[in-house]
């Protein structure tokens, strides 16, 4: 696994466990909803991940982008499709999104080696 990917996964998992261990009922239920909302429903899982990816990009959250890129990759998304999601997010969000796009592309490349 590429070091960028590994570092992201490990820190995310470790801190999520730390947060959940505090047993704040509201936070733990929000984490739960976060899992449920991306489940297969009337929309396919991958469509939901594209939606989550674009939402994360326009809100400029690098870690959220990384997570959804990981999921897109696991679900078999291709680079062309992912770049189309990037293109919609870049037009909606403007050039302020571009620095996050640079890090997204770097992470997407790293995932291909994972």
Q: Nearest approach, Cβ of 1 to a second copy (angstroms)?
A: 20
How far does Cα 100 stand from its chain's mean position? 12
Is residue 112 a contact point for a second copy (CB under 8 A)?
Answer: no
Q: What whole-number distance in Å separates Cα of residue 87 and Cα of residue 101? A: 10
Query: What Rg value do the Cα atoms of the chain yield, rounded?
Result: 15
Contacting positions for a second copy (CB under 8 A): 11-12, 15-16, 18-19, 22, 24-27, 29-31, 33-34, 36-38, 41-43, 47-48, 50-52, 54-64, 78-81, 83-99, 101-103, 105-106, 109
């Amino acid at each position: 696994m590429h070091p960028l990917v590994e570092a992201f996964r490990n820190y995310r998992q470790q801190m999520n466990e730390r947060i959940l261990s505090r047993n704040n009922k509201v936070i733990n239920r929000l984490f739960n909803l976060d899992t449920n909302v991306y489940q297969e429903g009337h929309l396919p899982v991958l469509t939901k991940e594209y939606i989550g990816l674009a939402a994360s990009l326009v809100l400029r959250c690098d870690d959220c982008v990384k997570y959804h890129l990981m999921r897109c990759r696991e679900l078999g998304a291709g680079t062309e499709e992912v770049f189309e999601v990037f293109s919609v997010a870049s037009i909606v969000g403007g050039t302020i999104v571009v620095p996050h796009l640079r890090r997204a592309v770097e992470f997407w490349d790293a995932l291909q080696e994972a």
